[in-house]
Homo-oligomer: A and B are copies of this chain.
Amino acid sequence: MRATDLATPGTDAWLDRTLGGGVEVFDLGRPLYRGMPQSPNHPPYWHTLPRRHGDAVRADGGSAAADHISLGTHVGTHVDAFSHVSHDGRLFGGVDAVENQRGGAMTAHGAETIEPMFRRGVLLDVPAALGLAACEPGYEITPDDLDLTARRQRVDVREGDVVLLRSGWGARFGRGGPAEYVGHDSGVPGIGEAGAHWLAERRVHAAGADTIAFECLPPGRGHSLLPAHRVLLVEHGTYIIETLDLEAVAAAAVHEFLFVLSPLKLVGATGSPVRPLAVTPKAAS
């Protein structure tokens, strides 16, 4: 008997069951770097080294370097808090949006209120199910597409899941200039209002995509309407995750996994940069 068995009965055995056979950890986060693709509506990511090795050397030969970062919270892979979007002046739960932001930070629904996610995740690889490399720019993914994808993948979406929607658009990240991924002119594929209702009916906990805007942007319309954000963030209290890297899980045909996401506790913020993970047992990948 190991010493720990007495102190935390069950944990040791649970760890053996979870970790014992080895796990595969898929990294769903995009790198953050100067000049990375991001929406021009948000403060650009900028990194500098205010201190470098050799700036100050301690008596024992030690030295340190350190960073300054400046960025929007809807930059890179990130999760939207419910305080991000309002409709007719209301946030999720009927909170008055203008009152809630008085003082320069969100009183309710700040990023610090997003509980860490450690739950079942599902990938719906739409273009793979449709026999495409990627959805077309501006294509609206329909409920039929989602049903078809789940059926072909033989995966079911359950209440409380995190559902990640692959459009194939993510392959553009870091390819060509930033505009190629941002896609404001070309349009960007994603679900529309109908697809958001499909997710809401299944009572998923969060939904994500491999694009910046999560939902379909018709060509030339920019962000003029964002109905899926309304349905999910405002009406149903479903988190949205954007700019995910779904290429590796898709290539490995990993459609079901343990999804882990731990947002920074940015008090009163409308979102947080994150690096989500998809975890499977070793054999399954």
Chain A residues close to B by CB (< 8 Å):
2-4, 6-12, 14-15, 17-19, 21, 23, 25, 27, 29-33, 35, 40-44, 46-56, 58-74, 76, 83-89, 91, 97-98, 100-106, 112, 115-116, 118-120, 151, 153-156, 223-227, 229-230, 253-258, 260-271, 273-277, 279-281, 283-284
Contact = CB atoms under 8 A, between A and B. Distances in A.
Contacts of A15: 120, 256-258
A62 B85 CA distance: 7
Contacts of A73: 66-67, 69
A50 to B, nearest CB: 4
12 contacts: A4-B255, A9-B284, A10-B281, A19-B258, A53-B91, A53-B98, A54-B89, A58-B226, A61-B89, A63-B89, A65-B83, A262-B276
Contact of A275 (B8, B116, B153): B116
B47 A267 contact: yes
A11 B54 contact: no
Contact of A101 (B65, B265, B276): B65
Given A4-B256, A66-B84, 17 more contacts: A3-B154, A9-B283, A15-B257, A29-B262, A32-B267, A43-B50, A44-B46, A47-B50, A49-B104, A49-B105, A59-B225, A65-B101, A65-B106, A67-B72, A67-B269, A68-B70, A70-B70
A181 to B, nearest CB: 16
Nearest to A9: B284
Contacts of A63: 85-87, 89, 97
Nearest to A155: B4
Contact of A71 (B61, B69, B103): B69
B47 A266 contact: yes
